[in-house]
């Protein structure tokens, strides 16, 4: 029987050998795909050289439409918010409140330390202008608008700019515009893909350049952010196609596990959906549940595409081996659907976000947990975290030295400067003290 989740049997493998056994299956950032790198490089250069004209041509080429105007008017934003069904507007406003409440706890504080008369203060300063990206095309993502805008607003960023690809009618979805209005975004542009990232980085006749670019997208968007990093700030996470790893022991209904795998898979191609279990019966039951759910899904094409390229059921000897696999994958979302999930939580070393227990689906984190759903993908959870307030801030340290402190430090300062052959460095100390340069 053909399994919808390709079966990988790691039973009998030691935790130390797991990494090599699954190395070829692990996701890789777009930078490892030469075709993506080349295509994005050409788009970025075209936008840099041609500005708005490039945005219009590329939007027509990739989205099949040409918006009447690149910028969405403030009147259109207001109409979108006013026109929302009441229950949906209430849901978006609730999400905005909860996301704001959580992110306020991330606000970094000014710190000061006195090192014997040398007072060092770390000042936290927000960037002036932040560029945000929300995907479109296959679906609308008003929640992503909130997830990107809120930490920037909490950080104190002065101007928020949002780019969203247009639909087939040449307009950004009304629900997305309504979310932008709720979040208080200053400028919204009807442009998506790598070209949107390039426009925010370099600027065009219509779009002024930004200081930081944040937000998830497909591998072309993620690669574009990688290419402009350094020109603008880009959070270290690679926020690409969606991923989930579910650890299950059979105490949670197979249908729940199957749905949670499909939740991330329905975002479309290039993502991953992995089931980790030490029970062959669980693997069989989840596979059957997926086969039952697929035919009725409105996003069947996206689901089948993701499962075909990134859907796996991995059999291991036990919980610790399952967590070893999870840490090697370093997934965007990790769900631990076991009888005692806290016992496995302590083994987590690499993941964007973790969801514990039968009633904590990742969907709660996508919308109303308050946490951010812009998460590291393609194994960047090895070194990166969810989008945070810090990503929109700079830390600037100031140094104030007392007369006595400079006198006390003059000898070591002069010695170090002299060793490096930097005469003026030493002179800047000796001219202020009684110490002579040697």
Q: Is the pLDDT of residue 6 over 70?
A: yes
Instruction: Say what percent of the chain tops pLDDT 70.
Output: 97
The pLDDT assigned to 383 comes to 95
> One of 266, 302, 332, 335 is an active-site residue; which one?
332
pLDDT at 420: 97
pLDDT tens-digit readout, 368-392: 999 999 999 999 999 999 999 999 9
Average pLDDT over residues 140-166: 97
pLDDT in tens, 49-102: 999 999 999 999 999 998 889 999 999 999 999 999 999 999 999 999 999 999
Catalytically annotated residue among 333, 343, 359, 397: 333
- Asked about 171 being catalytic, the answer comes back as no
Give the separation between CA 176 and CA 166, rounded to whole angstroms: 11
Residue 17: pLDDT band with limits 50, 70, 90: confident
Give the least confident one: 12-16, 56-60, 145-149, 186-190.
Answer: 12-16
- In angstroms, the CA 24 to CA 17 distance is 13
CATH H-level superfamily of 6-27+241-370 = Nitrogenase molybdenum iron protein domain (3.40.50.1980)
The whole-number average pLDDT for the span 154-164 is 98
- Which residue is listed with tokens 């989840």? 286
Q: Is 304 considered catalytic here?
A: no
Please tell me the predicted confidence (pLDDT) of residue 26: 79
pLDDT value of residue 28: 64
Q: Which of 128, 145, 221 is nearest to 184 (CA)?
A: 145
Mean pLDDT, range 322-345, rounded to an integer: 96
Average per-residue pLDDT for the chain: 93
* Highest CATH level, class, for 33-109+126-238: alpha beta
Whether residue 226 contacts residue 72, with contact meaning beta carbons closer than 8 Å, is answered with no
Instruction: Determine the 3-state secondary structure of 395 from DSSP.
Output: strand
Smallest CA-to-CA distance from 352 within 337, 321, 366, 373 is with 373
pLDDT score, position 436: 52
Provide the whole-model pTM. 0.92
CB neighbourhood size of 34 (10 A): 8
The pLDDT of residue 29 is above 80? no
How deeply is 238 buried, as exposed, middle or buried, from its count of CB atoms within 10 A (0-12, 13-18, 19+)? Answer: buried
* 289 or 18, which is more confident: 289
How confident is the model over 396-428, as pLDDT tens digits?
999 999 999 999 999 999 999 999 999 999 999
Q: Does 6-27+241-370 match 33-109+126-238 in CATH topology? A: yes
Sketch the domain layout of the chain as residue ranges: 6-27+241-370, 33-109+126-238, 402-438
Strands 393-401, 159-164: pairing is unpaired
DSSP E strands: which ranges in 85-240? 111-114, 118-126, 129-133, 159-164, 187-190, 212-214
Radius of gyration of the chain (CA): 25
Please report the pLDDT score of residue 30 as a whole number.
53
Check residues 66 and 154 and name the one with the higher pLDDT: 154
Q: What is the pLDDT of residue 36?
A: 92
pLDDT band per the 50, 70, 90 thresholds, residue 1? low
What average pLDDT does range 296-303 have in this prediction? Answer: 86
Evaluate if residue 438 carries a pLDDT over 60: no
pLDDT at 437 over 60: no
User: How does pLDDT run across 179-225, given as a tens digit for each residue?
Assistant: 999 999 999 999 999 999 999 999 999 999 999 999 999 889 999 99
């Amino acid at each position: 029987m053909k399994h919808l989740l390709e079966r990988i049997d790691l039973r009998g493998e030691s935790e130390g050998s797991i990494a090599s056994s699954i190395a070829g299956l692990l996701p890789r950032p777009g930078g490892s795909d030469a075709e993506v790198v080349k295509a994005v490089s050409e788009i970025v250069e075209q936008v840099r050289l041609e500005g708005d004209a490039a945005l219009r041509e590329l939007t027509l080429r990739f989205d099949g439409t040409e918006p009447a105007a690149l910028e969405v008017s403030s009147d259109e934003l207001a109409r979108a918010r006013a026109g929302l069904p009441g229950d949906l507007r209430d849901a978006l406003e609730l999400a905005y409140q909860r996301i704001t409440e959580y992110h306020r706890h991330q606000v970094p504080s000014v710190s000061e330390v006195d090192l014997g008369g040398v007072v060092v203060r770390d000042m936290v300063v927000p960037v002036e202008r932040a560029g945000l990206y929300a995907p479109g095309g296959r679906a609308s993502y008003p929640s992503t608008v909130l997830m990107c805008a809120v930490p920037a607003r909490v950080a104190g960023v002065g101007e928020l700019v949002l780019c969203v690809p247009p639909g087939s009618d040449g307009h950004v979805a009304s629900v997305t515009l309504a979310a932008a209005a709720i979040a208080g975004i200053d400028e919204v542009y009807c442009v998506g893909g790598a070209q949107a990232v390039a426009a925010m980085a370099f600027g065009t006749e219509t779009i002024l350049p930004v200081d930081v670019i944040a937000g998830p997208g497909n591998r072309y968007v993620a690669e574009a952010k990688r290419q402009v990093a350094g020109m603008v700030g880009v959070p270290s996470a690679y926020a690409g196609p969606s991923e989930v790893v579910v650890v299950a022991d059979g105490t949670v209904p197979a249908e729940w596990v199957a749905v949670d795998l499909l939740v991330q898979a329905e975002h479309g191609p290039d993502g991953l959906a992995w089931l980790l279990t030490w029970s062959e019966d669980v693997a069989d039951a989840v596979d059957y549940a997926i086969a039952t759910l697929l035919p009725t899904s409105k996003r069947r094409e996206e689901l089948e595409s993701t499962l075909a390229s990134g859907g796996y059921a991995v059999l291991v000897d036990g919980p610790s081996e399952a967590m070893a696999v999870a840490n090697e994958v370093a997934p965007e979302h990790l769900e631990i659907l076991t009888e005692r999930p806290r016992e496995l939580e302590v083994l987590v070393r690499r993941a964007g976000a973790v969801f514990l227990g039968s009633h904590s689906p990742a969907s709660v984190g996508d919308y109303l947990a308050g946490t951010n759903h812009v998460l590291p993908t393609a194994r960047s959870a090895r070194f990166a975290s969810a989008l945070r307030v810090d990503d929109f801030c700079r830390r600037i340290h100031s140094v104030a030295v007392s007369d006595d402190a400079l006198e006390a430090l003059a000898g070591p300062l002069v010695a170090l400067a002299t060793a490096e052959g930097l005469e003026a460095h030493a002179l800047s100390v000796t001219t202020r003290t009684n110490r002579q340069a040697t």
